Structures are given as C-alpha cells and as structure tokens.
Chains A and B, each alone.
Chain A
C-alpha cells in the first residue's frame, strides 16, 4: 500500500533541491495553490510521500518554511502546496515571477498512519486551510478506493468565496464513492449550491460507526474544539481522532528544537497526532 519513502538528503541535510513553480492557481484571497516540480528528472519520479507529511520550501534569499503537501502520492510528478500569504517567506513566494526557482527538501514528519486507516471508514473534517493536508488524504483514499470503507468529507468555510478547492470539491458531491458535505457559514450573495451552517451541523447528516472509523480533523482551533465535542459524543475513541499540528519549525528533522511540544518534536513525532497524544502533552493545543 505504502512504499517507504526515501527522504532526500543532500550534501547538507538542510540543503534544498532545486524545483520550479510550474503553475500557480489562485484559490481565495491570500491563498494560492503552487504546483512545484523538481528540476532533476530522476527526482520527479522518485519523490514520494505519505499524506499528512510536510516539506520545507525555500525562497532564495528570503528563507524557508514548512508546508503540508496538498497533493496525493497517487498522482506523482507534481507536488502541490496550498499556501496562505501571511509573513516574510509566504509573501516572497507569492511575489515570485512565473516558473521561478525554489528549493525543496523533505518529505518530513510522520504523515497519517495509512496502515492503521486501511479497512476503516474515513471521516475527514476540515476548516479553512486545514483542507491542505486533508486533500492529500482524500485523494489518496479515492485513488485507492477499495482499501477503505466509507469516505466522508466535511468541509466548512465562512462564505463561498473562502472555500479552498471549491470546484474540485463541488464536483465530488455527485460521486457515489464519497460523501462530500460542504458548508458555508453565510452565503450573502445567494450563490452557494451546497449547505449553509457551521461544520458541526453536518454531523446531523451522517451515520457513523465509531468503532470502524478514523476521524482526521484539521482546521482552526475553535472549529477543532466543537468538532471534538461532536466526535466524543458519538463515542469516538481518542486514539481514532487524528489532527495535524503547527509549530515554529526551522529544521524539520528534530535538530533545531523549535517545534518541541512538551516532550515530542512536532516535526518527527508529528505533525499528525492522535487526540490522546494531544491531551497527554502539555502545551499541545
């Protein structure tokens, strides 16, 4: 199911490999999807990863930052990153000319525990940019459909203009092999074809068997809190709730110390943690 990946290690462990931004797809204000391709042909072919893993992206002269890989390893060749413009590195990234050279190293982190997920139902709950890592898992599951039972996606945004991957996800609504529930808090212009209301309301529309389901929840912490309540109400075991955490990361490989939470490195032991891990680590959320 999953081939162990060979994490790239250059002459310096920290030296990125050259890659080009071959395409940028504007998503919503301040968010873009970057399609990136390694310069070296053999690396284009050999680079593989696990949904939920991240890579370190460098903008020459500005610096480096971690980003979840938003594409699926089932669709090799191009790596997709969904980035929000928020600070120095991301601003520089948004201002690069077409076909610009960037640097990539990775993949890093544990990623989703695919071996464990296999044979289970998947419940993916996303809010905002939380869709970035979950999109990788979503397409992985859809491209390996027989390996999972039901696949359910719940994704919410504030309004239709803030839904990431909007058309791609709207197209899933009619697919029979996935239950795609999309919702917006408000629809001021009356253009939204899917549901209206907060993400947690989507739970009213699904039957879930908590014993045979893994929930992956990614999104702002407020959303996380409410979704968690719902899951616990539905008798989810704390080991079956997965989340992706963000911390300051300056190396990605367990050396610089910055991503430490209590006694785990987010970059090595995470970024995917179970809810059980979370409540056992001080400073986790």
Chain B
C-alpha cells in the first residue's frame, strides 16, 4: 500500500483541495461533549480528537427516514426522480466505523442488492483517522481496531504529521491533487508510527473475550441474566439508533392530501420496540422485554456470525455510552461468561 506523509500544518490546505472531490463532512462539536458528522464549513470547525459521534455513519447511507418510491392511483408505483449526483467526502472516520460500513455492505448486498444504500455508498469517499480509545471502546476485542481496506485514505497521527495510507485509486487522485503538501515517509516516521501504535494498544481500558461467545450464548439462552436485563432496559431503542451496525427498518405508506397518491417510506426501527415482532392477529413473538433484549445480543453476537461469518458488533461503545438505563454490553458479556464458568 502506498503511504505518504502530511504535515499537520498542511491539513487545512489539504481540506480545501479535497473540496474539489465533494462536500466534506467531518466530526464537529455538538453541545459541550458530543460530536456529530456534519458538513464542514470552515477547516477550523473540524474536531479531530473526538472519540465517537452520537449517530454513526449509517445515517448517510440508510437515512433515518427515506422515500423508496411514490405511488399514484391507476398509475402504480414509480421511483422518485434521480437523487442528485452530489459527491461526499466523509473525513475522520475511525476504524470501528469503517468496519461497520463493511458490515452494512454485507447486509445490503448479497443476493438482493439494495440500490438505495449502494447508490449513496458509491457517492461517498471515506477518509479514515486513527484514534485513542476511551473507557467505552472495546474494538480491540472485536478485532476492529485496525483496518486494511474500506477507506480511500487513512490518516494515522504521528505527532507533528499524519501517515497517510492510500487505499483506492480515488484516494490516490486526492493525494495527487495536493501533491505539494505531501512528503515522503522517513525511517523516523515509521518508528514514530510503531511507538504510537504500541501506546494505543496499551490504552484500552475495556476488554472482552468474544471468540467463543456464540457457544456461550447458546448455553445461556435460558439464563436469568436476560430476565434481569429485561427489567433494567426501558425499551427506548436508543442502542439500535446509535449502533453503527443496527440496520432494521420499518416500512409504511404515507398518503398525500389528494388521498390518491403518496410515498412508501422506510424508517429506522428497533428490535427493542414492543411491536417489532408482532404479526397479524395480535401474536407477538417477543412480547417480553427480556426476550427482546436477548434477541439484540443474540443477533449481534450469535445470529450474525452464522449468517455472515462474523459478529456484527464493532466495539464502538455507543450503546453503552448512550443507554439511559446504563445497560452495558461489556458487563452483559462478562456476566454470561461467568455464568458459564460456574
């Protein structure tokens, strides 16, 4: 992989060059402590030492709500006018979030390709950035603390500069367009990178053992833990909304005022919501909150493994940080483990 160096003082200039490739979206401050991905107006507005944004990147590719197509009486269903061809650059994406996009690609691809998702995906360049974990991060346990692909460029902080890995041909064009800003990587740079990498590895505060979790989930299917969690959980669905790999949605039709035309819409849904598994006739396959919480964990750590060969959790820590009831995925997994050991 091609690797170049960008001195930090050239970053603002590089960002201006990037505008030729699309609208830049980057982490910006929202309130005191929170961050969101938003259009970057001034290079100065960028917040590169954030840990996580509240909403993950899925909002760009699977918007919280979207019109899939329109309908009209006696005409039937028709796709809305082509979306604009506007290109985006999402700048400053951490490894876990890049992995989450790779997971969503699996879900929305396959035998039935979701064109809504992929048309947006193809219009967005991803520029990654490494990070320092906080107490909520456990991406090292999920194997998502590093990425080898899934980005156009990836920036690693080496004190006064960034080492820039070039992942795609588009990434290469971006570097070439700002050719004068970049330098060659020196021996010292490589040493700095390795030192930083070790430091980063040592700063993880949360660790869980996940490899044999699918078996443990099976063993602990009837565990009392789920009952207890069901009592703590409020069923608010926040964990699903903020999770970068939760993709469930609900579909409904919306009528226009003429009552003869309208839209079919999809909207983020959560398996924690009460009516999620309700079927006609009123039978609810997961009427108990405990069974819904269990289902969420089961799907991420067990179900996804048998469907796609890997768990769908990327260890970003969002669900733990934003759960109003303090439900903590690390604690849940550790409890499941110790139950099994007894």
Contact = CB atoms under 8 A, between A and B. Distances in A.
Interface of A: 7, 9-16, 18, 39, 58, 60-65, 86-87, 90, 101, 103, 246-248, 250-251, 253-258, 260-265, 268, 282-283
A257 B76 contact: no
Contacts of B257: none
B299 A260 contact: yes
The A interface, classified by DSSP as helix, strand, loop or mixed, is loop
A39 B277 CA distance: 33
B269 interface: yes
Nearest to A7: B112
A16 B302 contact: no
Shortest 7 CB-CB contacts between residues of A and residues of B: A257-B248, A263-B303, A253-B112, A18-B76, A11-B79, A250-B251, A263-B306
A255 B285 contact: no
B279 interface: yes
A247 B285 contact: yes
Given A12-B79, A250-B249, 4 more contacts: A251-B251, A255-B107, A255-B247, A260-B299
Contacts of A260: 271, 295, 299, 303
B14 interface: no
Given A11-B115, A64-B251, A103-B77, A262 B259 contact: no
Contact of B112 (A16, A246, A255): A255
Contact of B251 (A13, A63, A101): A63
Given A13-B114, A248-B277, A255-B108, A262 B251 contact: no
**From A7, A15, A16, A64, residue with most partner B Cβ within 10 Å:** A15
Contacts of B140: none
| B contact residues, range | 35 or more
B269 A61 contact: no
Interface of B: 68-69, 71-74, 76-79, 107-108, 110-116, 221, 247-253, 255, 259-260, 262, 264, 266, 269, 271, 276-281, 285-286, 291, 295, 298-299, 302-307
A262 B115 contact: no
Given A256-B269, A263-B302, A12 B68 contact: yes
Nearest to B62: A255
B277 A247 contact: yes
A68 to B, nearest CB: 13
B58 to A, nearest CB: 13
A39 B68 CA distance: 21
B276 A248 contact: yes
13 contacts: A9-B112, A9-B113, A12-B79, A60-B72, A63-B251, A64-B251, A65-B280, A87-B281, A101-B76, A254-B107, A255-B114, A258-B276, A261-B285
B290 to A, nearest CB: 12
Given A14-B68, A18-B77, A255-B108, A90 B280 contact: yes
